Amino acid sequence: MIDFRSDTVTRPTAGMLKAMQEAVVGDDVFGEDPTINELERLSAEMFNMEAGLFCPSGTMTNQIAIKCHTQPGDEVICEALSHVYLYEGGGIASNSGASVQLISGNFGRITADQVAAAVNNKEDVHRPLSRLVSLENTANRGGGTCYNFDDIQLIKEVCLNNNLSLHLDGARVFNAIVAKKEKPEQYGRVFDSVSVCLSKGLGAPVGSVLLGNKDFIKRARRIRKALGGGMRQAGYLAAGALYALKNQVDRLEQDHHHAALIVEALQKKDFVGTIPPVETNIVLFEVKGRFTPKSLVEALALKGILAIAMSPTQVRIVTHLDISESMVKQTIREIESL
Ligand SMILES: *Cc1c(COP(=O)(O)O)cnc(C)c1O
């Protein structure tokens, strides 16, 4: 099977497994796992932030960040299809007791003007207190789209003027960094907190890291414990993540190239409608005419190709570490034959 359902399906590479086996570990709840400490140090350094916190998932890093930044009744501003709102089990409400104001973006991206218009007047007792803006880069439901960094900086200005914190759901921030030729430290300068998934395109089996200043991460560590996310000898997992950060970032370019090749093949088919501009490793396309998303996914599965019906009108294909060039070629042949 050629599995394009998600970039979470990757298996550890031989080099990564070796690094995991050889990891020096300790009890991380006591702060004594040297491999986790190194992962937190290195990732914070890459983003030029003060401190990091290794967590089991990106949902947990996002939810901890939101809880750190808000009080119950405060409002979080985010894009309508954002992961923090749509795919984290209602966590903003259940974990933080926070309200949400949704903005309809441009393929997952929102603008400074939209954020400014979404901020509630803090003198009006009817309205929740706007407290946090959460951005997603790349934007999953936008089709892996990237922000222009200038637009992020304009949003930051609105945040500074309105006493709002700014969080990045950077599940795929390295895809954006590679695609836009950016540097991780740009993000550290602008965001108050950044969540980075190590188990998506980077290819580690488990884990995300939350970055912020020392005081923020100290409070985040307490919340992680309360949510049951304190792990013990998880340095075995952190070793995989460290290996990924050191060896599997630049190769994301290949995933982006593979996605672009698949788009070319899709564009020639009468059953494919709109494809948002593909900038990274996600191809989210509209299906019409002879196929529905469900029937297309079934037809592809019969040919050994797995994709996901993402909405009543869209199918998603994601390229990743375990997709080789020959798999892409075979996929293109199968698409051509449909
Ligand atoms: C995958 C993902 C997350 C985190 O998901 P987990 O499965 O909990 O690690 C967060 N945000 C986005 C945009 C994602 O795609």
Which of 197, 200, 310, 316 is the pocket-test mutation for ligand 1 (most atoms within 8 Å of CB)? Answer: 197
Percent of the chain with pLDDT over 70: 100
Q: Which pTM value belongs to this model?
A: 0.97
CA 60 to mean position of chain CA atoms = 12
Last residue of a domain, one of 197, 213, 247: 247
Any domain includes 4: no
Q: Residue 270 corresponds to which tokens in the numbers above?
A: 């009468």
Residues 2, 334: Cα–Cα separation, whole Å:
12
Residues 292, 314: Cα–Cα separation, whole Å:
8
Any domain includes 148: yes
pLDDT, tens only, 263-298: 999 999 999 999 988 999 999 999 999 999 999 999
What is the predicted pLDDT for the residue at 299?
A: 98
What is the predicted pLDDT for the residue at 187?
A: 98
Q: Does residue 196 share a domain with residue 132?
A: yes
Question: By residue range, what is the domain housing residue 295?
Answer: 251-337
Ligand 1 mean position, distance from CA 88 (Å): 8
Which of 6, 8, 59 is the pocket-test mutation for ligand 1 (most atoms within 8 Å of CB)? Answer: 59
Any domain includes 201: yes
Q: Does residue 213 share a domain with residue 281?
A: no
Mean pLDDT of the chain, nearest integer? 97
Any domain includes 323: yes
pLDDT, tens only, 227-245: 999 999 999 999 999 999 9
Report residue 327's pLDDT band, with 50, 70 and 90 as the boundaries.
very high
Any domain includes 6: no
In terms of C-beta density within 10 A (0-12 exposed, 13-18 middle, 19 or more buried), how is residue 8 classed? middle
Residues 104, 115: Cα–Cα separation, whole Å:
11
Nearest protein CA to atom 5 of ligand 1, as residue: 58
Output the domain CATH number for residue 220.
3.40.640.10
Ligand 1 mean position, distance from CA 197 (Å): 7
Q: Does residue 275 share a domain with residue 332?
A: yes
What is the predicted pLDDT for the residue at 237?
A: 98
DSSP assignments along 287-303, one per residue: B-TT--HHHHHHHHHHT
What is the predicted pLDDT for the residue at 127?
A: 97
Q: What is the DSSP letter of 145?
A: B
**What are the angstrom distances between the C-alpha of 58 and each of 3, 27, 120, 195?**
21, 22, 28, 7
**Ligand 1 pocket by Cβ (under 6 Å):** 57-59, 62, 83, 136, 140, 169, 171, 197, 200, 208
Any domain includes 9: no
What is the predicted pLDDT for the residue at 71?
A: 98
Last residue of a domain, one of 247, 270, 303: 247
